[in-house]
Amino acid sequence: MLTDYHCRHRESLEHATTGEAHILWVGNFNRHHPLWDSPEDTRLFTNEAMDAAKKLIEAVMKVGLESVLPSRIPMHKHNVTKRWSRLDQVFLSAQSNEMLTTCSTLPE
């Protein structure tokens, strides 16, 4: 849905009256992938999970965004396993990324 919206509104999203617009996708995408979760936590990387993450990665690439939240930052502790994983993501346009000084989480 994000990719579709972005493509349909590309002109207004990418060009503000003062120059290039800043684009930010942030949220609980609930997608697991070794690019951002701990690669050792293989229970997260089912075929279904990898297919879903692939769709997110392709969507981000299609609209030209970059991941800015560093890999392996924990943010969700599973109620049963007590293992930490990563559900949230932050993606920015290149011109926004140049202005970013830090991107982190507060798991507590």
Question: pLDDT class for 16, splitting at 50, 70, 90?
Answer: low
25-42 pLDDT, tens digit per residue, is 888 888 999 999 989 889
Q: Where are the domains of the chain?
A: 23-97
Q: By the 8 A CB rule, do 66 and 92 touch?
A: yes
**DSSP string over 54-94:** HHHHHHHHHTTEEE-SPTT---EE-TTT--EE--EEEEEEH
Task: Convert the pLDDT of each residue in 81-91 to its tens digit.
Answer: 888 888 889 99
CA 13 – CA 80 distance, rounded (Å): 41
* Contact predicate 67/91, CB 8 Å: yes
Tokens 């982190």: give the residue: 104
